[in-house]
Structure 1
Amino acid sequence: MPGNKTVVYQGPGHVSVEDLDYPKLELPEQHRKINHGAILKVVASNICGSDQHMVRGRTTAPEGQTLGHEITGEVVEVGPDVEFIKVGDLCSVPFNIACGRCRMCMEGHTGVCLNVNPARAGAAYGYVDMGGWLGGQAQYVLVPYADFNLLKFPDKDRAMDKILDLAMLSDIFPTGYHGCYTAGVTTGSTVYIAGAGPVGLAAATSAFLLGAAVVIVGDLNEQRLAQARSFGCETVDLTTDASLADMVEQILGEPEVDAAVDAVGFEARGHGADAGEEPATVLNDIMSIARPAARLGIPGLYVTGDPGGKDAEAKVGSLRVSIGTGWAKSHSFTTGQCPVKQYNRQLMMAILHDRTHIAKNVHATVLPIDDAPKGYTDFDQGAASKYVLDPNRELVGAGV
């Protein structure tokens, strides 16, 4: 059997690349055979902001946690219960692990599947408290319920021509789209997106795809704001002393937007050049500038266990959210994991038919897997890039 280089969390601020065992069609932590699973040779596996939360020590992830839930790969082995996925298929792997059989899956809520995590509803690859499934920042990975979970690309050669775009289907593109779709973005909408990291840039891309007239992106990082401007976004610099409403009014002529998206999550900072962490900032911001009866999409991650939280309440996910503002303005909120399967096939078609160029918009940047520690460090320092790991040297020459 071949080896399996895998990215592993070794404690706050430290990841390493370890040689682990080639995966089997089983999940020892749950004492389960995975006859319905497939093993994939990983073509691309991205570093995600959610991974970065763990690496910063801002979750309860144990040392030794394998990493990686944004996976694209080629099937090299299938279990005896797999009927439709075949060896050689090139596929996108939704970061949600879902059985396809439970009530939640039947209703399309694949982010909260009831059968893949004994601790809670919902599971993901390589993530703390998400079922014990090994991470996909690796050369090989096990995917359970392969017939249900895998999105097969219809033509392998054509897919490899657009592989960096298609690599975004496992998480950030559907997640950004989910944020905008649930916020009601449609033809002619004015939209505010908090955060110019990869999910925020994916949300901005999605807003244009949905027909938005104006997309405003707010952040504290000028390099990332410049990346947003590169594909037509307006931007607001949150290091300034101006109020968010005033900056929005300067762009739109009014201090409100039709729809707003939180692409930041629980490590949010306040406004101003020297602002510290204020985890409810973005939630309160989007309520403050969203028009009455607006819908707010909240794909940004919030947790129930944050060892680095600024106070006792934040450490357990209890934040000072002005729910009275949202109530008074009749806002609707959508939170939680994006159910990737609701969107990934449609977004795949948009990519294959040149209706969107997500890899360019998020500045996809390929790294060999051995450079994963550097990718995590650079990302943590605010690089305006979406790092794509190349575990098996399949992406040599790939570009945007």
Structure 2
Amino acid sequence: MAGNKAVRYMGAGKVEIADLDYPKLELSSGPGVHPSNVGRKTPHGVILKTVTTNICGSDQHMVRGRTTAPEGLVLGHEITGEIVEKGPDVEFLREGDIVSVPFNIACGRCRNCKEGKTGICLTVNPDRPGSAYGYVDMGGWTGGQAEYVMVPYADFNCLKFPDRDQALEKIRDLTMLSDIFPTGYHGCYTAGVTTGSTVYIAGAGPVGLAAAASAQLLGAAVVIVGDLNADRLAQARSFGCETVDVSQGDPKDQIEQILGVPEVDCGVDAVGFEARGHGKDAAHEAPATVLNSLMDITRAGGALGIPGLYVTGDPGAADEAAKTGSLSIRLGLGWAKSHAFTTGQCPVMKYNRQLMMAILYDRVQIAKAVNAEVIPLEEAPRGYQEFDQGAAKKYVLDPHGMVASTAA
């Protein structure tokens, strides 16, 4: 039986490459696994040989020690792989298929799944609605930053690529379908981005850049990206975005210089709970800053898409309220301007097939937009370290050397 190397969280600032057992079609006990899930059979699952698996900003929150993630947790919820084994209840997939796996695990059978709300499946996580691979408080499903991984409810969850050779040729783009491309798109779609929109996206990390590319795909007239990181802002400009350096002050003033008015039609929060202040406060964490800023600069009657992560437990928060996810949000301002807000996990399956088609037919170059860099699984600790230091890259792990070249 094959072994299984994987990336594990080992405490604040620490990840390691560890040897695991080869996965089974059953949930085993381990760090973060809910006791009610131990021994759960998955005849509806498949075992994937991981083709690519990406480092995500959400992983980075855990690795920084900003969640209650237990040591030993196997990381990774952005998974693309080849089916090498399938359970007896899998009907529509075959060994050898290359598939994208949504980061949210969904049964396809509960009320929410049947309504398309796959980010808040009611059955896969005993603690709360919603689940994901390799993530804190998400039921304990083993992460995919590994050579092999088990995917449950495979017929429902897996998006099969129509042609194997084409999929491997475009794998740097297709690997983004597991999370950041649908998540960025969801942020824009729920913010109402359409033909001719003006859009402000807070955050030029991979999700923010994916949101910017999505806004262009949706037909926005002007896409403005705000951040503190000069390299990430340069990356946004590389594919036609305007940029705002929030270390220079309130983004409203810079937006007015770009548009002639200090407001936009649509706002997207791609930062989340580790937000920093603007201007002279940029050196300090201020988790409500982005949400309050977006309400200020989004026009009356506009909408906010909030794909940025907010948590219910943050041991490293700046104040006691923020440690439980309580933030000083100017809800009265949003109410007065009749803003609509959409929060929560992106329901990846709502978008991933359509975005796959956009990639396959060359309507978007998402890997170029997010500056994807392919590295071996063994170099994951370096990827985490450089990403934490603000590298303007999206690190893609290649456990089996199946990606032909690291050139973007």
TM range (shorter): over 0.9
Q: Which moved more, 1:179-188 or 1:269-278?
A: 269-278
Aligned partner of 1:352 in structure 2 is: 360
| TM-score when normalising by structure 2 | 0.97
Distance 1:225 1:268 in 2: 16
Q: Is the 8 A contact 1:164 1:398 kept in 2?
A: no
Distance 2:6 2:300 in 1: 48
Deviations 1:263-302 (A, max 9, x none): 0000000012653000000000100000001010000000
Aligned partner of 1:173 in structure 2 is: 181
Distance 1:387 1:32 in 2: 32
Distance 1:118 1:245 in 2: 43
Secondary structure of the residue aligned to 1:33 is: coil
Aligned partner of 1:89 in structure 2 is: 97
Distance 1:258 1:166 in 2: 30
Choose the corresponding residue for 1:316, options 324, 329, 350: 324
Aligned partner of 1:24 in structure 2 is: 24
Where in structure 2 are the equivalents of 1:130-209 lying within 5 Å?
A: 130-209=138-217
Secondary structure of the residue aligned to 2:69 is: coil
Query: What is the CA distance between 1:381 and its match in structure 2?
Result: 0.2
Deviations 1:61-94 (A, max 9, x none): 0100110000000000000000001100000000
Aligned partner of 2:65 in structure 1 is: 57
Query: What is the CA distance between 1:204 and its match in structure 2?
Result: 0.1
Query: What is the CA distance between 1:239 and its match in structure 2?
Result: 1.0
Distance 2:335 2:405 in 1: 51
Letter in 1 for 2:252: A
Query: What is the CA distance between 1:397 and its match in structure 2?
Result: 1.2
Aligned partner of 1:270 in structure 2 is: 277
Distance 1:101 1:344 in 2: 19
Aligned partner of 2:34 in structure 1 is: none
Q: Is the 8 A contact 1:164 1:399 kept in 2?
A: no
1:108 lines up with 2:116 in the alignment: yes
Letter in 2 for 1:146: A
Letter in 1 for 2:403: L
After superposing on structure 2, the runs of 4+ consecutive aligned residues of structure 1 that deviate more than 6 Å are: none
1:74 lines up with 2:85 in the alignment: no
Choose the corresponding residue for 1:291, options 281, 295, 299: 299
Deviations 1:87-136 (A, max 9, x none): 00000000000000000000000000011011111110000110110000
Unaligned runs of 5+ in 1: none
Choose the corresponding residue for 1:377, options 361, 380, 385: 385
Distance 2:78 2:407 in 1: 18
Letter in 2 for 1:264: V
Query: What is the CA distance between 1:398 and its match in structure 2?
Result: 4.6
Q: Is the 8 A contact 2:375 2:406 kept in 1?
A: no
1:257 lines up with 2:264 in the alignment: yes
Choose the corresponding residue for 1:248, options 246, 255, 280: 255
Aligned partner of 1:47 in structure 2 is: 55
Choose the corresponding residue for 1:328, options 336, 340, 360: 336
Aligned partner of 1:3 in structure 2 is: 3
**Percent identity among equivalent residues?**
72
Aligned partner of 2:33 in structure 1 is: none
Q: Is the 8 A contact 2:68 2:314 kept in 1?
A: yes
Length, aligned pairs only: 399
Secondary structure of the residue aligned to 1:126 is: coil
Q: Is the 8 A contact 1:180 1:206 kept in 2?
A: yes
| TM-score when normalising by structure 1 | 0.99
Distance 1:2 1:204 in 2: 41
1:307 lines up with 2:315 in the alignment: yes
Q: Is the 8 A contact 2:80 2:99 kept in 1?
A: yes
Letter in 2 for 1:330: S
1:34 lines up with 2:42 in the alignment: yes
Distance 2:96 2:229 in 1: 42
Secondary structure of the residue aligned to 1:75 is: strand
Query: What is the CA distance between 1:260 and its match in structure 2?
Result: 0.4
Letter in 2 for 1:7: V
